[in-house]
C-alpha cells in the first residue's frame, strides 16, 4: 500500500507522534510506502511531498510542532482544488491519505472523502472541541502548560494584591480554561459556552478581596463573550480563512475589573506557549494509538472515517458525523468546577 500523511490547521503537541506511529505501523508491519505532504492541504494541492521512512521519523516522538509543517488554506481554494488533489493522489499511486487536523481540516477531509478520495482522518487540537472523540491529543499538554502558568501567577499576584486575568486558548469552547482553572484552583472561569455578566464577575472577585484574600485569578478563554447588554465588546471581524479575529478579552477584562474594583489587575495572554514544546506522556500515547489505528483502517478499506477515543478504546467514526457539531463544555461540567472556585 502507498499512504500519504499530512498535518493541517493549528499545530499541536503530538502531531509528530502520529506521523512516527503511521510510518512504523505501515512500513515495518505492513511493508507499505509512506509519503508526507508538506504544509497541510497545500502540499496535497501542489503535489509537494517527501518520502518518509524509519530514519526520517527517528527522534521526533518528544518534539512539539510537526516535521511536515502545517498551514491554513482558504476553504474556497480547497473546494476548487478537489480535482487537483484527486490528480495527485492518482499520479502518486496513493491508496490512502491520512490528514491529521482539527475541525476545519476534518471538514475538508469529509469533502474529499465525499468526492471519493480514500481518506482516513486523525483528530488533533489543543481546544479538545472535536465531538466524536472523548479527547484530542494536544489538549493535555496545553492544560499542563496553562496550569503551571496559573500556579506561578498565584505567587506573584499574592505578593502585589493583584487580580490576574489569564487568557487561554479556546476559540469556540472553554475546555482549556475549565481544566486549567480547576487544576490550579482559579477563582473565576470564563468560557465561551456561558456568556459572562461583568457585574457578576466583578462581584465574585470583589467578594474574595472583602473576605480578606489578597489576590484573585480569573481564567478566560479567548473566545469568551459578555452577555448582551452586560459590557460592550467590539467585533474583530473574520480573517481570510473565515476565523473570527479576537479583540483581546483578557486585556479588556483586566481594564474593566481594575476600574470597577479599584484593585490592580494584570492581563496575561498565554497564547501559543500552550501549543509549543514537548507533548505530555498522555498526548504521546494517544497520538501513537491514533496513528496505529489510522493505518489499520486504511488496510481494512474503511475510508471516510476518523480515529476517535471512546473510553479507553480507539474506534472509527464517520467523518460526516464528526463534523456536524463541536464538543462544548456542558453545564454539569462547569458546575463541578464552580463548586471549587
Ligand X SMILES: Nc1ncnc2c1ncn2[C@@H]1O[C@H](COP(=O)(O)OP(=O)(O)O)[C@@H](O)[C@H]1O
Ligand Y SMILES: O=P(O)(O)OC[C@H]1O[C@](O)(COP(=O)(O)O)[C@@H](O)[C@@H]1O
**Nearest distance from residue 254's CB to Mg ion, in Å?**
26
- The contact set with ligand X (CB under 6 A) reads 8-10, 41, 72-73, 75, 78-79, 101-105, 107-108, 111, 125, 241
Has 296 been labeled as part of a binding site? no
Strands (DSSP E) contained in the chain are: 2-8, 33-37, 49-52, 96-101, 120-123, 163-168, 188-190, 216-221, 265-269, 305-310, 313-318
What CA–CA distance (Å, rounded) separates 318 from 307? Answer: 9
| Closer by beta carbon to ligand X, 44 or else 253 | 44
CB 245 within 8 A of CB 238: yes
| Closer by beta carbon to ligand X, 121 or else 226 | 121
**Residue 16 in grid coordinates:** 509528530
If binding is defined by CB under 5 A, does position 138 make contact with Mg ion? no
Active site residue 239: no
**Nearest distance from residue 169's CB to ligand Y, in Å?**
3
The item of ligand X, ligand Y, Mg ion, none sharing an interface with residue 167, based on CB under 5 to 8 Å by kind, is none
The item of ligand X, ligand Y, Mg ion, none sharing an interface with residue 174, based on CB under 5 to 8 Å by kind, is none
**Nearest distance from residue 78's CB to ligand X, in Å?**
4
| Closer by beta carbon to ligand Y, 10 or else 64 | 10
**Residue 215 in grid coordinates:** 489576590
Has 234 been labeled as part of a binding site? no
| Closer by beta carbon to ligand X, 50 or else 79 | 79
CB 321 within 8 A of CB 54: no
Has 63 been labeled as part of a binding site? no
**Nearest distance from residue 12's CB to ligand X, in Å?**
8
CB 19 within 8 A of CB 5: yes
- List the strands of the sheet with 33-37, edge to edge: 49-52, 33-37, 2-8, 96-101, 120-123, 305-310, 313-318
Residue 226 DSSP class: B
- The contact set with ligand Y (CB under 6 A) reads 9-10, 102-103, 125-127, 169-171, 222, 275
Q: Are strands 33-37 and 49-52 parallel, antiparallel or unpaired?
A: antiparallel
The item of Mg ion, ligand X, ligand Y, none sharing an interface with residue 105, based on CB under 5 to 8 Å by kind, is ligand X
Has 72 been labeled as part of a binding site? yes
Q: Are strands 305-310 and 313-318 parallel, antiparallel or unpaired?
A: antiparallel
| Closer by beta carbon to ligand X, 196 or else 303 | 303
Return the C-alpha torsion angle 182, 183, 184, 189, nearest 10. -20
Q: Which of 127, 129, 140, 283 is catalytic?
A: 127
Q: Map grid coordinates 472541541 to a residue.
A: 129
The item of ligand X, ligand Y, Mg ion, none sharing an interface with residue 126, based on CB under 5 to 8 Å by kind, is ligand Y
**Nearest distance from residue 101's CB to Mg ion, in Å?**
8
| Single residue of 104, 123, 174, 250 touching Mg ion by CB under 5 A | 104
Has 166 been labeled as part of a binding site? no
**Nearest distance from residue 274's CB to ligand Y, in Å?**
7
Q: Map grid coordinates 484530542 to a residue.
A: 136
Q: Map grid coordinates 491529521 to a residue.
A: 100
What CA–CA distance (Å, rounded) separates 39 from 303? Answer: 22
Has 2 been labeled as part of a binding site? no
Q: Measured in whole angstroms, how far is the alpha carbon of residue 18 from the centre of its chain?
A: 15
Has 103 been labeled as part of a binding site? yes
- SS3 of 258, please? helix
Query: Catalytic residue positions?
Result: 127
Binding-site residues for ATP sit at: 10, 72-73, 102-105
In the annotated binding site for Mg(2+), the residues are 103
- Which residues are documented as binding site for substrate? 125-127, 162, 169-171, 222, 266, 272-275
Amino acid at each position: 500500500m502507498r499512504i500519504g500523511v499530512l498535518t493541517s490547521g493549528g499545530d499541536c503537541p503530538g502531531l509528530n507522534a502520529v506521523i512516527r506511529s503511521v510510518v512504523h505501523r505501515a512500513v515495518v508491519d505492513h511493508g507499505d510506502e509512506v509519503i508526507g505532504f508538506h504544509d497541510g492541504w497545500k502540499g496535497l494541492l501542489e503535489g509537494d511531498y517527501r518520502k518518509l521512512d524509519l530514519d526520517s521519523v527517528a527522534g521526533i516522538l518528544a518534539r512539539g510542532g510537526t516535521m511536515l509543517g502545517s498551514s491554513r488554506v482558504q476553504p474556497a481554494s480547497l473546494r476548487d482544488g478537489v480535482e487537483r488533489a484527486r490528480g495527485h493522489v492518482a499520479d502518486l499511486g496513493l491508496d490512502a491519505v491520512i490528514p491529521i487536523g482539527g475541525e476545519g481540516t476534518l471538514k475538508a477531509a469529509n469533502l474529499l472523502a465525499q468526492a471519493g478520495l480514500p481518506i482516513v482522518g486523525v483528530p488533533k487540537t489543543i481546544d479538545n472541541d472535536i465531538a466524536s472523540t472523548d479527547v484530542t491529543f494536544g489538549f493535555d499538554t496545553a492544560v499542563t502548560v496553562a496550569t503551571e502558568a496559573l500556579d506561578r501567577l498565584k505567587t506573584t499576584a499574592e505578593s502585589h494584591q493583584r487580580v490576574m486575568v489569564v487568557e487561554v486558548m479556546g476559540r469556540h469552547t472553554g475546555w482549556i480554561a475549565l481544566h486549567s482553572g480547576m487544576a490550579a484552583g482559579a477563582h473565576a472561569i470564563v468560557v465561551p459556552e456561558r456568556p459572562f455578566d461583568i457585574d457578576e464577575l466583578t462581584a465574585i472577585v470583589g467578594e474574595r478581596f472583602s473576605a480578606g484574600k489578597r489576590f484573585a485569578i480569573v481564567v478566560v478563554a479567548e473566545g469568551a463573550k459578555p452577555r448582551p447588554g452586560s459590557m460592550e465588546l467590539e467585533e474583530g471581524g473574520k480573517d481570510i480563512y473565515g476565523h473570527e479575529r479576537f479583540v483581546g478579552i483578557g486585556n479588556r477584562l483586566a481594564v474593566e475589573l481594575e476600574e470597577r474594583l479599584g484593585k490592580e489587575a494584570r492581563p496575561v495572554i498565554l497564547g501559543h506557549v500552550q501549543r509549543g514544546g514537548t507533548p505530555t506522556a498522555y498526548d504521546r500515547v494517544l497520538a501513537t494509538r491514533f496513528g496505529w489505528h489510522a493505518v489499520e483502517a486504511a488496510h481494512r478499506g474503511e475510508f471516510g472515517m476518523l480515529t476517535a477515543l471512546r473510553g479507553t478504546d480507539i474506534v472509527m467514526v464517520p467523518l460526516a458525523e464528526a463534523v456536524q457539531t463541536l464538543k462544548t463544555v456542558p453545564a454539569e461540567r462547569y458546575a463541578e468546577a464552580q463548586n471549587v472556585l
